Structure 1
């Protein structure tokens, strides 16, 4: 890997940290597709695990005064952990081309959900019924691809949460998912000392980006910032889809 490639990866991880600091969602959705273009997807998902744990833990600490509905504290860990167990099995058994197509599909769903912005909201009764299966699906996608933001965005946005509570719930979910995914991937032979070392290196630009994103969010429209990221993701989705179909 050339110096230019390393600079690209550093910038991408930094941008992921910036987006994380601004919106609560960032490092995996931005970094995994780019890392997968340079590494295989299995290694890309493994490398991003440590940055995911630390950045989400940091966001939880910053927003610790925000509290989601009480039932989220059991539906998130139970549903997500069960889904991750199934998702990691897919990651270990499926060829890269199918996983690349899966990531591309996840990005497309994410972009569509952001563009459509449905105005409807789930009622309290429906939300309680759908909470556990929704968290399972989040874990499934997280375990298989490392990118569950599309499902998270669609589900939480349908609840009409305030921004601070939304970011707290996103960070809580991703923190639980990441903490659970690390040992699951280790058992599957996908996470070891080498991946840990790469994760420590990836953590530096990710953490550097968070305070920058926080400052940006205070001075500019997050909607405008999201549009820039979505344009970036369109190109990444096309690239990964092309790689998947070509493979």
Structure 2
């Protein structure tokens, strides 16, 4: 391995370690942090390919650890189906579109999510609105997944506004992110941007992500999750602004 290749591998490992720590402390954020930081090193399509296994394994673990897998799958089946179908189509942009523009879109989405999470008042969605709007929220999440490799918008704010209990919310987020990950991997493969080589590289990224998650779970006992989350969101906003600014360079 050349010195440059070793340095790249070490940086990628560090990214997934940090992303795992964030997920361990806050219960979410691994794909978001990984895409944000890898955007400085790789094209969005290459970054998305790397995060497939770390994201899938950690989110399936989170989904299956919850109390009501069957109930949540039934409740959100239309939302998840819309996410998957839209991501399959939109991933063609991530695979073959303008990498600079994809990075700018990713940066803009990161800024929107950070601003919403930091400043927006808590929302509560009625069951009637949920039934009607969930497929559209899923479709919008699929567009963000396929177009920029980010799973959190608008799925996470939507799920947080439905009044789920803490364990149910954690499980629902894990399910949503797992569906997005699978759809993204399938879409990239469909458009010729994901193959065995990408899978091997993603497998290597799994170990630091799992280690980081374990470190984050330990840190959660001694740090304030709210303060950590605030620092995490501010950092996301700064990274997003830097990525968005590349459109005008």
What TM-score results when the alignment is normalised by the length of structure 1? 0.91
1:77-88 counterparts in 2 under 5 A? Answer: 77-88=80-91
Confirm or deny that 1:217 pairs with 2:220: yes
* Contact preservation (8 Å) 2:144, 2:153: no
Counterpart pick for 1:29 among 7, 32, 45: 32
Instruction: Quote the Cα distance in structure 2 between the aligned partners of 1:215 and 1:18.
Output: 9
For residues 120 and 40 of structure 1, do their structure 2 counterparts lie closer, same or farther at Cα, with a shift above 3 Å needed? Answer: closer
Residue aligning to 2:111: 108
Residue aligning to 1:16: 19
Instruction: Quote the Cα distance in structure 1 between the aligned partners of 2:72 and 2:223.
Output: 29
Residue aligning to 1:75: 78
Residue aligning to 1:140: 143
Confirm or deny that 1:198 pairs with 2:201: yes
What's the secondary structure of 1:149's corresponding residue?
coil
Give the Å deviation of 1:183: 2.2
Number of equivalenced pairs: 246
For residues 46 and 131 of structure 1, do their structure 2 counterparts lie closer, same or farther at Cα, with a shift above 3 Å needed? Answer: same
* Contact preservation (8 Å) 1:118, 1:158: no
Give the Å deviation of 1:66: 6.5
What's the secondary structure of 1:218's corresponding residue?
coil
Give the Å deviation of 1:23: 2.5
* Contact preservation (8 Å) 1:113, 1:150: no
For residues 2 and 92 of structure 1, do their structure 2 counterparts lie closer, same or farther at Cα, with a shift above 3 Å needed? Answer: closer
Residue aligning to 2:43: 40
Instruction: Quote the Cα distance in structure 1 between the aligned partners of 2:69 and 2:86.
Output: 26
**Unaligned regions of 5+ residues in structure 1, if any?**
none
Q: Give RMSD over aligned pairs.
A: 2.0
CA offsets, 1:143-193, max 9 Å, x none?
Answer: 221112131222112223222211111100111121222222112011012
* Contact preservation (8 Å) 1:47, 1:202: yes
What's the secondary structure of 2:199's corresponding residue?
helix
1:160-175 counterparts in 2 under 5 A? Answer: 160-175=163-178
Instruction: Quote the Cα distance in structure 1 between the aligned partners of 2:181 and 2:213.
Output: 18
For residues 213 and 72 of structure 1, do their structure 2 counterparts lie closer, same or farther at Cα, with a shift above 3 Å needed? Answer: farther
Give the Å deviation of 1:71: 4.2
Instruction: Quote the Cα distance in structure 1 between the aligned partners of 2:123 and 2:204.
Output: 42
* Contact preservation (8 Å) 2:79, 2:136: no
Q: Displaced runs of 4+ in structure 1, greater than 6 A?
A: none
Confirm or deny that 1:188 pairs with 2:187: no
Counterpart pick for 1:238 among 205, 218, 241: 241
What TM-score results when the alignment is normalised by the length of structure 2? 0.90
